[in-house]
Structures are given as structure tokens and as C-alpha cells.
């Protein structure tokens, strides 16, 4: 070999060795490899870091504090007018959609009704996978408030969903394949359901359940995220004293119940069906507990008592589930005043001193500020008109009015069981110092049922023949108040509204606030709106086709800020009522600056003519009224008076449907859509009575020539 040849080879080798090695090829965005790598990063450190940027939306309320306030500011009060649709996605559902999407690096996970999980590529709007837990639709009646689901949790490559029938399921984030499943229900004789979104704190998946209307005992359970093994369970109300109490907290609670009526036989209630939050620095998680079972305290605990831990915020140790402290917002709940409405953790300056607080506006109509380190009451002020309490004393006890516990006649307590605020989420912007919340009034009257017995069908007691145990009659006397819906910007330090926007009706969607001084909210009358966070001025709106009840999310993908909202009218109010003239399937809308996509085509509601021609005996009308209330009213509304929500109003049915009502009631064709099978619940002799009420009511309201 010549020297010059050797030199050339050596030089070539030197260049080759000096040249940097090529980086390994990155998986294509939206590929299973990309999804698995992206979601595998989601853990506590990721969620805390993301709270500082808002780049992703990795948890139901965005962050552990559940603020629903994004640090993204690409969208502003100046340019939001240029927001446009990028894509829409068909959730293929006809019932309520209450989920806020979870988004990690452009991969969206969102649930539709019946707990069906959809994975969507934000970059294209295309489906990645769908998981249907195959809930038995004939059991839909075992929940009070529609077959809804409020979303998923993600953690280290897994997606977690609570199925309506009580299962907690872990899915592979990339494929939707089931990894593990746990039955969370302690006794299937009782009507437990899951509608809330799970949370993951310190590697444990936390889930509660619903069912207090049906007479169940509330609890919350933690499972190991990787394996599904149960880590701990904490009951919210005490069980049978003869069996001993699970812990000191339950023994303490039992002293606040009247044991003479064996409250545990009717469950007690207190279900944890929605709100949770977590403070990693204090190592405390916070839950809101539900209403009493039955609603009527005179039946549940006739000698009174606070009935701990109903209608409370409770702090637990997330490692062990051990009770740390509680604050009861509605002692001796008598009105379905759950405290399960979403809460927010915030750091505020109050009285010139920094305080770590919980902001909470539950059903009972008061906005609470509570010290989250110890549960001590700081302040409470009513944010809607109330008549059950005059306010709260310095110790955090409500000052009840004379009408609050009247039992022997109809009374219109405000707020009503629909709540001054229900599960619809609020948001908090630390820059404005304001909480943005949907508030409402749905008129309603109550009267105790002096003859109530557990699990007994009682004429005129709502849905008692389907397992409801409220111990009260509903609307025995028509309410006098007017319905309304509002968006309220609330100052929690001054405890007053900064501004208010009036909506067309109750039951509007949850809110999202952003660093661009924007507040986004969907409405019951089918609009998605952006407001100025400082003064409530409307800056942008778009039609959604049908009413919106869920809250939106915002996130960034490849440098672009997006806003997404899952739309699908429903919930307990939306079963029988609506405020739009168009309908469509559940839909996810995603918007960004300059979006030009066309919205999907929705169809007009075609309300049939008022029912006529069904033969009936007028003497059956009163008995039919009682049967209708105890079996049908909360789903189908008043025949001909209401227009129907996501379930049809029977006053506008075809004549042949009501004339052949038995074919629908007893193992009928609608059971595949969620209608109960009334076999064994009703008798053939009940059918003409129901027909008399349905046709008789339609005849009574028919315009006279």
C-alpha cells in the first residue's frame, strides 16, 4: 500500500469517526409507539410540571388543584374572534356527554355515554381506537341521572375509566386493550353506579360511586395503578354498629346518627360520585361527599344529628386512606344538598395573610372558603337566592330558617335538589382572582312522605318503583320560583360577584379560564362562547347543534393552541327537557386560530302531534298519575307539557305506541337503549291506568277551538 493511499484511508476513517451518529428515527406522531412513549411519561412529576405550562391537559381538572385554568396565552381577547373549527368527531352517542377530554402530546381520550372511551389523534381528528365496556343497558335505570361518564385518568401508559356498572378498567393507552379490571361494588343487591372520572394520586387510582338515591352506603376506594390491587377503602358514613366500625372516624360519625331507626339498613348515602383534589406538599387528598339516604332526615335520623360525613369535604391521607379532617357544609342534610360539586385548591391572601384554601360552591347555594391544611371554616356567602339558611355563623354552622325542616306540607326550598350548582365544573384564574361558575335554579317543591318505607314503591314518590328511596314527594304543589341559568364570576376573598351573564335556561356547561383573559363555556341552548374574564363581555361564539353540559379543555400541539369541547345533551335535567331545536349525536369539537372546517349537519327536532286516540277510562286517571310519578316522570317528563330531552316525551308519541304500551313496558324493544324492563315492577292491570294519565294529560292541555 502506498503512503498516500494509507493517508487517504486514515483521513476518511477520521472523518467517519468524527461525524455524529444519526439520531434514532422518532416514531410517527399518533403511532402506537408514539402514544405509548408519550403517556408513559405521565406521573405526578409530569402533572405538576405541566401545571406551570399548560401544554397538555393530563388530568380531569387539568392539574392536581383542579383549577381548570390554563397558562396558555396564544388565544387572547384580541384574536379569539378568529377561532375556527379544525375538526369534529362523532362520539356515536345519543345520551348525555359530561366528559372533559384528557390530552397528552396530541392524543385525546374522552368518554361518551355508557362509559365508552374514544382515543382521537388531535392532529387529524381521526379515531385511534374505541373501547366499549359493554354495560348492560337494561340496567340503566339503576342510576339517578343519565348514563353519563365524566372522563378518564391517564398514568404511565395506562388509561383508566370507571364503567357505569361499577367496574374500574385499565386500558393500554396505545391500543385500548384491557390490562386489568376490578369490580368496585361491595354488594350488587344495591344500585351502585360510577359516573365520575377517576384520579391517580401517588400511583393509586381513586374512584367513588353514585347511588345515594337508591339507598346505598358511600365509600371511596384506591387501587394500585399498575396491578389493580385494592390499596384502601374509606366509607363516608357508618355501618351497622353490631358489626363494629372500620375506624375511629366511623365510630365518631355514628354518634351523630339516630340508631333507633337502623339508618344502615337504608345505606345512609354520602356517595363520592364526583369531586376530588390533591395537595402533594401537604400529602392530602380531598373528596366531597353526597346527600343522605333517604333525603328526608326525619326518616333517616328522626332525632336529628349532623349525620357525619354527609354533605362534607373530607381530607384523607392518599397513602393509607386514613381520615385527617372534615368540614360539613350541610349538617343533617334534608334537601339533597350534596357536596360533590367540583372544588378548587388555591393560595389566597385573606386578611393580609397568605392562606392555603379550598374554594367550593356546592348545591346548597353558598360559596365556601376553607383552610385546606386543617379544614377550618374561613367564610361562606350565598351566590344565589336561598331560603333554607340565613347564612353561616363564625363557627361555620348554617343559621337555618323556619321553613328549612317543614315536613307536613309542600315547601319550595331554594336551591332545589337540582342544586344552585351541580357537577358542572368551575375554574379559577389567579391573575383576576375570580372563580367562574355556572349557577342555576330549577323550580321544585318537596314534602316528606310520612309513610315511607325502605325499598317500597310509594305512589307519587319519584321513581320509588325503580328503587329510589328519597322519602319525599316531588312537586305535590307547583313551585312558584322562576328557572334561570347564569355564568357568575365570583371573588372568593370579597365573597361577592364581580360580574354575571344571564343565560336562556338552567343546566349550562362547565367553564375553562386561560392566561389570555378568556373564559369558555358551552350553553344549554347550543352555543360555545368565549367571554372576557375581566368583565364578562362576549367575544366569540359558535353553534354546537345541541345543548352543552360538559366543560372544555385547552392544550398545545406542535406550537398551536387548541380548545376542545365534548357535546351531548343530558344529565338528570336533560333527560326530560331541552332548549335547542336541533339534535345530533355526541360530538367533540376542536378549535384553533384560523380553523376553516365545516360543522357536522345536525337535524331539526320533529315534535309529533299531541297524542290522541288512545281509549281510556277517566276514573283511572288519578291512579295513573301516581304510577307515572313513581315509574316514569324523571325520564319522560310531563306528557305534552315538556318537549322531551334525550328521552322522548310520551305526550308526543304515536297513538299505536301508547295504545300498545304493554309491548314497551314488559321486555320491550327500548330496553336495548336503556329503558327498564318493568316485568315484575308493574302489572298488566297498571297499563290502562298509565294510558289514562298519558292520554288524559295530553287531552287536558290540548288547545280548545
Query: Residues with catalytic annotation?
Result: 336
Dist CA 611 CA 691 (whole Å): 11
Find all residues with CB under 8 Å of 332, minimum gap 6, and list them.
297, 301, 304, 305, 306, 307
Residue 159 pairs in a beta bridge with: 154, 171
Distances (CA, A) of 175 to 35, 409, 685: 9, 57, 51
What count of Cα atoms within 13 Å lies in the side-chain half-sphere of residue 351?
A: 5
Partners of 162 in the beta sheet? 168
Helix or strand run (H / E) with residue 345:
strand 344-350
Beta bridge partners of 104: 107
Scored b (16 or more CB within 10 A) or e, 543-582 reads ebbbbbbbbbbbbbbeebbbbbbbbbbbbbbbbbbbbbeb
Q: How far is CA 439 from the centre of its chain?
A: 14
Question: Is residue 56 within 8 Å of residue 553, measured between CB atoms?
Answer: no
Query: CA nearest 339: which of 288, 265, 272?
Result: 288
Closest to 114 measured CA to CA, from 141, 130, 133: 133
Q: Tally the C-alpha atoms within 13 A of residue 111's C-alpha that lie toward its C-beta.
A: 29
Alpha carbon distance 621, 616 (integer Å)? 9
**473, 526, 483: which is closest to 505 by C-alpha?**
483
What string of DSSP letters covers 24-87?
PPPPPTTSHHHHHHHHHT-SHHHHHHHHTT---B-STTSSTT---EE---SS-TTTGGGEEEEE
Instruction: Supply the Cα-derived Rg of the chain in whole angstroms.
Output: 27
Q: Give the pairing of strands 582-583 and 560-567.
A: unpaired
Amino acid at each position: 500500500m502506498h503512503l498516500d493511499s494509507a493517508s487517504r484511508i486514515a483521513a476518511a476513517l477520521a472523518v467517519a469517526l468524527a461525524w455524529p451518529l444519526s439520531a434514532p428515527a422518532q416514531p410517527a406522531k399518533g403511532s402506537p409507539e408514539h402514544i405509548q412513549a408519550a403517556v408513559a411519561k405521565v406521573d405526578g412529576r409530569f402533572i405538576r410540571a405541566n401545571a406551570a405550562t399548560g401544554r397538555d391537559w393530563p388530568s380531569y381538572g387539568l392539574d392536581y388543584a383542579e383549577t381548570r385554568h390554563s397558562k396558555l396565552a396564544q388565544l387572547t381577547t384580541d384574536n379569539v374572534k378568529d377561532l375556527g373549527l379544525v375538526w369534529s368527531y362523532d362520539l356515536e352517542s345519543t345520551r348525555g356527554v359530561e366528559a372533559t377530554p384528557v390530552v397528552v402530546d396530541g392524543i385525546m381520550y374522552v368518554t361518551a355515554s355508557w362509559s365508552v372511551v374514544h382515543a382521537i389523534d388531535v392532529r387529524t381528528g381521526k379515531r385511534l381506537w374505541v373501547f366499549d365496556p359493554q354495560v348492560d343497558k337494561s340496567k340503566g335505570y339503576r342510576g339517578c341521572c343519565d348514563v353519563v361518564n365524566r372522563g378518564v385518568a391517564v398514568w404511565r401508559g395506562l388509561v383508566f375509566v370507571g364503567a357505569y356498572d361499577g367496574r374500574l378498567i385499565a386500558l393500554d393507552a396505545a391500543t385500548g386493550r384491557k390490562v386489568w379490571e376490578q369490580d368496585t361494588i361491595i354488594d350488587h343487591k344495591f344500585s351502585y353506579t360510577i359516573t365520575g372520572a377517576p384520579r391517580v394520586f401517588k400511583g393509586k387510582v381513586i374512584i367513588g360511586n353514585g347511588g345515594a338515591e337508591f339507598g346505598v352506603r358511600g365509600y371511596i376506594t384506591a387501587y394500585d395503578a399498575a396491578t389493580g390491587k385494592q390499596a384502601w377503602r374509606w366509607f363516608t358514613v357508618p355501618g351497622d354498629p353490631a358489626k363494629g366500625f372500620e375506624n375511629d372516624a366511623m365510630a365518631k360519625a355514628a354518634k351523630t346518627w339516630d340508631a333507633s331507626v337502623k339508618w344502615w339498613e337504608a345505606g345512609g348515602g354520602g356517595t363520592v360520585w364526583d369531586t376530588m383534589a390533591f395537595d402533594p406538599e401537604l400529602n392530602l387528598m380531598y373528596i366531597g361527599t353526597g346527600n343522605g339516604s333517604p333525603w328526608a332526615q326525619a326518616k333517616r335520623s328522626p332525632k336529628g344529628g349532623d349525620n357525619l360525613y354527609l354533605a362534607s369535604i373530607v381530607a384523607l391521607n392518599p397513602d393509607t386512606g386514613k381520615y385527617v379532617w372534615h368540614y360539613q357544609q350541610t349538617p343533617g342534610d334534608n334537601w339533597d344538598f350534596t357536596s360533590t360539586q367540583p372544588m378548587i385548591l388555591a393560595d389566597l391572601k385573606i386578611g393580609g395573610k397568605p392562606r392555603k384554601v379550598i374554594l367550593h360552591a356546592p348545591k346548597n347555594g353558598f360559596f365556601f372558603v376553607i383552610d385546606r391544611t386543617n379544614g377550618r371554616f374561613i367564610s361562606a356567602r350565598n351566590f344565589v337566592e336561598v331560603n333554607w339558611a340565613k347564612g353561616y355563623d363564625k363557627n361555620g354552622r348554617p343559621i337555618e330558617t323556619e321553613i328549612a325542616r317543614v315536613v307536613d306540607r309542600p315547601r319550595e326550598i331554594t336551591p332545589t335538589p337540582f342544586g344552585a350548582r351541580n357537577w358542572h365544573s368551575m375554574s379559577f384564574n389567579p391573575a383576576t382572582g375570580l372563580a367562574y361558575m355556572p349557577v342555576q335554579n330549577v323550580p321544585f317543591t318537596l314534602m316528606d312522605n310520612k309513610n315511607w318505607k325502605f325499598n317500597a314503591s310509594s305512589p307519587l314518590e319519584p321513581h320509588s318503583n325503580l328503587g329510589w328511596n328519597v322519602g319525599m314527594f316531588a312537586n305535590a304543589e307547583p313551585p312558584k320560583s322562576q328557572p334561570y341559568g347564569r355564568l357568575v364570576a365570583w371573588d372568593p376573598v370579597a365573597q361577592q360577584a364581580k360580574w354575571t351573564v344571564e343565560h336562556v335556561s338552567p343546566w349550562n356547561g362547565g367553564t375553562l379560564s386561560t392566561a389570555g383573559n378568556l373564559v369558555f363555556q358551552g350553553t344549554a341552548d347550543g352555543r360555545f362562547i368565549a367571554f372576557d374574564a375581566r368583565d364578562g363581555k362576549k367575544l366569540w361564539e359558535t353553534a354546537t347543534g345541541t345543548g352543552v353540559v360538559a366543560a372544555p379543555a385547552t392544550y398545545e400541539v406542535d406550537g398551536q393552541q387548541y380548545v376542545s369541547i365534548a357535546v351531548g345533551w343530558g344529565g338528570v335535567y336533560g333527560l326530560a327537557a331541552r332548549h335547542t331545536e336541533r339534535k345530533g349525536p355526541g360530538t367533540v369539537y376542536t378549535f384553533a386560530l384560523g380553523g376553516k372546517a365545516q360543522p357536522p349537519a345536525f337535524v331539526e327536532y320533529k315534535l309529533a302531534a299531541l297524542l290522541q286516540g288512545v281509549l281510556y277510562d277517566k276514573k283511572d286517571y288519578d291512579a295513573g298519575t301516581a304510577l307515572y310519578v313513581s315509574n316514569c316522570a324523571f325520564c319522560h317528563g310531563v306528557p305534552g307539557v315538556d318537549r322531551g330531552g334525550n328521552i322522548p316525551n310520551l305526550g308526543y308519541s304515536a297513538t299505536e305506541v301508547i295504545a300498545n304500551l304493554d309491548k314497551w313496558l314488559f321486555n320491550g324493544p327500548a330496553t336495548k337503549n336503556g329503558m327498564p324492563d318493568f316485568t315484575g315492577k308493574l302489572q298488566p292491570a297498571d297499563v290502562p291506568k298509565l294510558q289514562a294519565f298519558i292520554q288524559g294529560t295530553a287531552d287536558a292541555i290540548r288547545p280548545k277551538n
